[in-house]
Homo-oligomer: A and B are copies of this chain.
Amino acid sequence: MTTVKDILNWVQTLAPAYMKESWDNVGLLCGDPGKSVTRVLVALDPFEHVCREAERVGAELIMTHHPLIFQPAKSITTETSVGRSILRLCGSGISAINAHTNLDCAPGGVNDVLAQTLGLANVSVIRPNGTDEAGNPWGLLRMGECEATLEVFLERVKTNLRASGLRYVRGCDNVRKVAVGGGSCGGGLMEAYDAGCDTFVTADVKYNQFWDAKELGMNLIDAGHFATENPVVPVLARKLGEAFPEIEVLISRDHGDCLAHY
């Protein structure tokens, strides 16, 4: 019998909790570690429609990147989105596990998958925070090599990430060294610049960050939060299935990007 706790322990090997940011909330955020698990639903977010899908497909566990509870909860009611998710999960006895900034930083995690999805070569960690048990460096951002004009690279980003659109600032014409950070990593611009990158792919970029990039002569591409992080979902599902062949691992069909471009 595979329990929630077994899967939690496995996540700890994949994305150890010590790799998370101090403000983050990861691990088992809802449920009973002793419960048996036969089916897991994997998704980027634990939103209510994902919880509903988990009920429908008969999953005993959802595994997500973003945490079910971010701001510690003073109440659990139908009046908030988080409350509705928790009420539904508890009502159906479904547990929730997540790996957030620890999975961003882990070798083979969100940002390694992002770099790989973009076809970068010779990928390495920018400013590693340390090395894991296997001796691999870990940290937030990745960088890798490429050989393309900006136009070609934009097309590749859009296609490979299945992004509905890109926002970008042109800093130079050729793309040779690319930094990547899935989700809101715009604050890492100087770090990418100092590492010698000419291009940075991330999401949720702010006005002043676009201008900073322009002044630095860097290409800064906002490909969307979902689009830059979701590639890790199938990878996570596959690894989970390999680690626990006896359980059924499903990828959410109901969850997709809410963002459109016009």
Question: A residues touching B (Cβ–Cβ < 8 Å)?
Answer: 25, 27-34, 45, 47-48, 69, 71-79, 81, 86-87, 89-91, 93, 154-155, 158, 165-170, 183-184, 203-204, 206-207, 210-212, 214-215, 225-226, 258-262
Across the interface, do B212 and A81 meet the contact criterion of CB distance under 8 Å?
yes
- In the complex, which residues of chain B have a beta carbon less than 8 angstroms from the beta carbon of A167? 165, 167, 259-262
Hey, which chain B residues are within 8 Å of A45, CB to CB?
A: 211
Contact A204 B203 (CB under 8 A): no
Measured in the bound complex, the distance between the Cα atoms of B166 and A71 in whole Å is 30
Contact A47–B90 (Cβ < 8 Å): no
Asked whether, in the complex, the Cβ of A69 is within 8 Å of the Cβ of B73, the reply is: yes
CB contacts (< 8 Å) of A212 on chain B: these are: 81
Instruction: Find the B residue at minimum CB distance from A206.
Output: B204
Q: Assess the A75–B69 pair: CB atoms within 8 A.
A: yes
Q: For residue A35, which residue of chain B has the nearest CB?
A: B78
Contact A165–B165 (Cβ < 8 Å): yes
Residues of B within 8 A of A71 (CB): 72
Question: Residues of B contacting A33 with CB < 8 Å?
Answer: 77-79
Please state if B74 and A29 are interface contacts (CB–CB under 8 Å).
yes
User: Contact check: which of B69, B74, B258 meets A210 at CB < 8 Å?
Assistant: B258
Bound: A30/B158 CA distance, A:
43
Complex CA gap A167/B226 in Å reads 13
Complex CA distance for A34 and B72, rounded to whole angstroms: 24
Partner of A207, one of B155, B165, B204, B215: B204
- Residues of B near A215 (CB, < 8 A) are 47-48, 81
CB neighbours (8 Å) of A166 from chain B are 261-262
Query: Could you tell me if B28 and A77 are in contact, using CB atoms closer than 8 angstroms?
Result: yes
Residue of B nearest to A31 (CB): B77
A261 to B170, CA, bound (A): 10
**29 A-B pairs, CB-CB below 8 angstroms?**
A25-B74, A25-B75, A28-B75, A30-B76, A30-B77, A31-B76, A31-B77, A32-B87, A33-B79, A47-B211, A48-B215, A72-B72, A73-B74, A81-B215, A87-B90, A90-B90, A90-B91, A91-B91, A154-B262, A158-B262, A165-B165, A165-B262, A166-B261, A167-B261, A168-B262, A169-B260, A184-B206, A204-B207, A211-B258
Question: Within the assembled complex, what's the spacing in Å between the Cα atoms of A45 and B167?
Answer: 20
Most central of A30, A168, A212 by chain B CB within 10 Å? A30
- 14 A-B pairs besides A25-B74, A31-B77, A154-B262 with CB distance below 8 A are A30-B76, A69-B73, A76-B76, A81-B215, A90-B91, A91-B93, A165-B167, A167-B260, A168-B261, A169-B259, A169-B260, A170-B260, A184-B207, A210-B258
